[in-house]
Amino acid sequence: MAKPSTEWPATVANVAVDPTRQQVLDEAKTFAASGLGFYGQVVNHPYWNSPIDGKDLAVMGDCMDTSHYGTLVVKTGVKRTVGRAKDNTRATFVKGDDGTWRVQKIEFLVDTPC
């Protein structure tokens, strides 16, 4: 994350709830301590499994193109990983009392092509 670590909890809380919120914070700490970072960008190709119909829970899929995104060693800029052109993912969102939708759960559907 580009923000100071003291700002991470509030920043992540704007877009996620537990368990995803805590997973993001834990991984950010691990990456920072290991000298790792991210490069590139993800191109999203979202799709809906079912309508929201006024509910406070929504499930959305994404056939992400992560082929130009991955991890690198910050100090050297050496790339460690690269993503895939079709990375099928499902996210569960919950609507907060403030009306804001936040990610609750992310699942990587590795055996389900998109």
In-domain check, residue 58 = yes
**Res. 1: pLDDT tops 60:** no
In-domain check, residue 113 = no
Question: Residue 72 sits in which domain range?
Answer: 5-108
In contact, 80 and 72? CB cutoff 8 Å: yes
Query: pTM of the prediction?
Result: 0.86
Q: pLDDT tens for residues 2-34?
A: 789 999 999 999 999 999 999 999 999 999 999
Domain count, the chain: 1
CATH number at residue 65: 3.10.450
Q: For residues 104 and 9, give the distance between their C-alpha atoms in angstroms, rounded to a whole number.
A: 15
* C-alpha R_g of the chain: 16
In-domain check, residue 40 = yes
Q: pLDDT tens for residues 34-87?
A: 999 999 999 999 999 788 999 999 999 999 999 999 999 999 999 999 999 999
In-domain check, residue 48 = yes
